[in-house]
Amino acid sequence: MKMMNASPVIEWNRLVIDLMQSITQPSDVDLPRRNTSEAARVYALLNVAMHDAMGGLGGDPALEPRWVVQPAPGLSADLAPFAAIGAGCQLLEGLFSLPQREQQIRDLMRNLRDEHAGASGVIADITAALDYGKDVASALLADQRYAIPTNDPVEDLHLPANPPPEGIGRLGFAPGAARYRRLTPFVLARGDWFHAPPPQELAGFGYAREWHEVYAQGSLALREAAADSFESRMARLWRGGVGTSQETGFWMEIARVISADPARALTLSEQTRVMTAIAVANCDAMITSWSSKWTYTFWRPQDAIRRGDEDGNAATFGDPAWAPYNGSQGASPEHTSGTATFAGACSTVLAHLFGDAVSFEVDFQSATGLIGPQTFDHLALTADIAVRTRVWNGIYFASAGEAGLLAGRLVGRRIIDAMALMPM
């Protein structure tokens, strides 16, 4: 499928990233979409819907439907772009309910439809392809395997009590996000397939070394004093949170920029394969990390440092005034780092597809406080920097990043094998 008009896959991903960034107010009706785990699910659902809608019309064996097998009308495979347009519209309309966002979704649908229809489009066939894409998206949204899991404290015996006891080393975190570890993976056979080994023992030398590393390199005071340093700039770039597309969205944007590069001249089918692979890698990496997080419920550096005189380690001490550069310590348990797991999975898939030495320019979001886009030249190095920023932001110990990065790479390799991805 050669690209003659704007790619619906690229444009729907551009829009969903914008929609995610626009959720900034606690009163926002779309607030449930804002957290990292839900963002990963949304990105995966969007791209899976487009992948299977296009594949359902046939014509490209590489896009054979994997998640939604919906009986297709007898339409030409040339109408696949319209199936993607319909799928993207229906999927996002089903997830975002603020009228202003719904209007953005419908406007893009009409623009894409009109641009691809041109003067010679057969209206009836175009409408049928759009409707087919919408049917695929509706079936995916109705599939309970990919619905948000409900809380079930009775089964979550390893979760801290509610209210949490806040014991040394194991702090209670609200179980709301813990349920995402029970989300059905899109490719992995099990969410705990690449479960990480335990965090460092509190009384050990390794823990003390990592404790002092975060204490020295991730403090608010140090980073503000060196705000223009490489470490501080990268820490802000990868911070994520409110007003961003979330950390999973960062890799969606990287994949979008690489796939949309005119110099690569990727076909619509190729762009679909890339974006779907990254989206499901992101989501399955999230499930993998969350499985470890809510097994170990290990405390974050802010609590570990403020209560360092209670951990039983003679090499640490308590500093009640210490604060992380991140601004908050984070809402999930520490081990493992989700950002590291996403980075491992997505960089592995992208490097397989395009090689590691890929130069790309990204402008993640205005909320980073950085002026202008940032340029990167190597995928593995970009992943390593993303992992390291969790220490510079003062919110993870180094071993949480190392374990997450390794697990993510394993997820990425599984995505490559399961989807039979070939270098482009």
- Residue showing tokens 């979704």: 105
pLDDT at 169 (0 to 100):
57
Residue 405 near residue 340 (C-beta atoms within 8 A): yes
Residues 121-157 have pLDDT tens digits of 678 899 999 999 999 999 999 999 999 888 655 445 4
Residues 23-57 have pLDDT tens digits of 988 899 998 888 899 999 999 999 999 999 999 99
Residue 289 near residue 344 (C-beta atoms within 8 A): no
Residues 262-273 have pLDDT tens digits of 999 999 999 999
Give the global pTM: 0.94
Helical segments of 297-375, H only: 301-306, 338-354
Tokens of 336: 């493992």
Q: Which residues does the chain have with pLDDT short of 70?
A: 1-4, 119-121, 151-175, 365-372
Q: What backbone phi and psi angles, to 5 degrees, belong to 170? A: -130, 100
Residue 26, helix vs strand vs coil? coil
The rounded Cα 41 to chain-centroid distance in angstroms is: 8
pLDDT at 297 (0 to 100):
85
d(C-alpha 383, C-alpha 234), whole Å:
12
pLDDT at 401 (0 to 100):
98
- Residue showing tokens 């009640």: 320
Residue 374, helix vs strand vs coil? strand
Tokens of 380: 């593995």
Q: 11-28: b or e for each residue (b if 16 or more CB lie within 10 Å)?
A: bbbbbbbebbbbbeeeee
Residue 188 near residue 317 (C-beta atoms within 8 A): no
